[in-house]
Amino acid sequence: MDNPLITAITLLISGNREVYFIALTSLRFSLTSTGIAAIISIPLGIALHFNRFPFKRAVIAVLNALMALPTVVIGLLVFSFLSRSGPLGRLNLLFSPAAIIIGQVVLVVPILVSLVFSGMSKIDPRFYETLITLGARQGDVLIGSLKEARFVIISALLAGFGRVIGEVGISMMLGGNIRWFTRTMTTTIALETSKGDFAMGMALGIILMVLALLINSLMHILVKNER
């Protein structure tokens, strides 16, 4: 038997078409879902910070709890909605990239909202006062605090992206692991390992680890710049 690690590295170096196709598919899904989730979550996180309303604490507590929602539970929930016998069955979305993206958005929205909100609340309150004494109007305050919180928002996005690219439950249950279509890095690793074929899984595992390292160093640099 060949050493799977050597085969894996050969696959990576030789530019194996399927390995890179799968890696790109994963990236495509994760970027799209993080992007959509960002569009929903950033305004929500900001609105949560700037507004007071009844049960605000409860909302925050629920959001924090949702951050820990297991991917298989989200998979099950979205599956029951998208299945033909479910309320959204007419859309014919199950086992398609769209289904994966919907599931991943559900996964990452609570994370982004919570992180953006908690990041915003860490801004020194004197910052706003200074802005106001300098004659800032409300719109300027919003823009000013967005600028001030940009590192927080970017690192929240990176954290969300990291969560999405590494999840397997949602992609497996909602995408169906269809080759050349909805097969992602994580579902391939699960499948190939189950077949007793480790090389391709390892090649993708290496890509995933490199990505994780990249994301973490980016976050590290951001945090350093902030100080």
Partner 1 sequence: MVTSHWLYQYSLRVDIEMYSPPVLGKEEIMKSFSIFSLLFLFLLTSPLTAMGVPDGENLRIKLATTTSTDNSGLLEYLLPYFKEKTGYSVDVIAVGTGAAIELGKKGDVDVVLVHAREQEDAFIEAGYGIKRRDVMYNDFVIIGPVSDSAGIGDAKTVEEAFSLIAKAEAHFISRGDNSGTHIREKYLWRKANINPEGKWYKEAGQGMGAVITITDDLQGYTLSDRGTYNAMRSNINLVVLFEGGEELFNPYGIIAVNPERHPHVNFKGATALIEWITGEEAQLLIKQYRIDGHPLFYPMAR
Binding site for partner 1 (CB under 8 A): 1, 32, 35-36, 39-40, 42-43, 46-47, 49-53, 83-85, 89-98, 101, 123, 125, 128, 132, 138-139, 141-142, 145, 176-179, 181-182, 193-197
**Minimum CB separation from partner 1 for residue 10, in Å?**
17
Nearest to partner 1 of 153, 211 (CB atom): 153
Listed in sequence order, the residues at least 6 apart from 84 whose beta carbon sits closer than 8 Å to its beta carbon are: 94
Instruction: Give SS3 for 29.
Output: helix
Nearest to partner 1 of 109, 211 (CB atom): 109
Nearest to partner 1 of 48, 159 (CB atom): 48
With 0-12 CB in 10 A as exposed, 13-18 as middle and 19+ as buried, what is 60?
A: middle
Identify the H or E element spanning 225: helix 198-226
Q: Cβ of 64: how many Cβ atoms within 10 Å?
A: 15
Helix axes 150-165, 138-148, angle to 10 degrees: 50
Nearest to partner 1 of 141, 208 (CB atom): 141
CA–CA separation, 157 and 36 (whole Å): 11
**Minimum CB separation from partner 1 for residue 93, in Å?**
5
- For residue 167, which phi and psi values (nearest 5 degrees)? -85, 150
**Minimum CB separation from partner 1 for residue 183, in Å?**
10
With 0-12 CB in 10 A as exposed, 13-18 as middle and 19+ as buried, what is 88?
A: middle
Nearest to partner 1 of 111, 174 (CB atom): 174
Q: In angstroms, how far is the first alpha carbon of the chain from the final one?
A: 52
**Minimum CB separation from partner 1 for residue 62, in Å?**
16
Nearest to partner 1 of 39, 73 (CB atom): 39
**Minimum CB separation from partner 1 for residue 215, in Å?**
23
**Minimum CB separation from partner 1 for residue 166, in Å?**
21
Q: Could you say which DSSP state residue 91 is in?
A: G
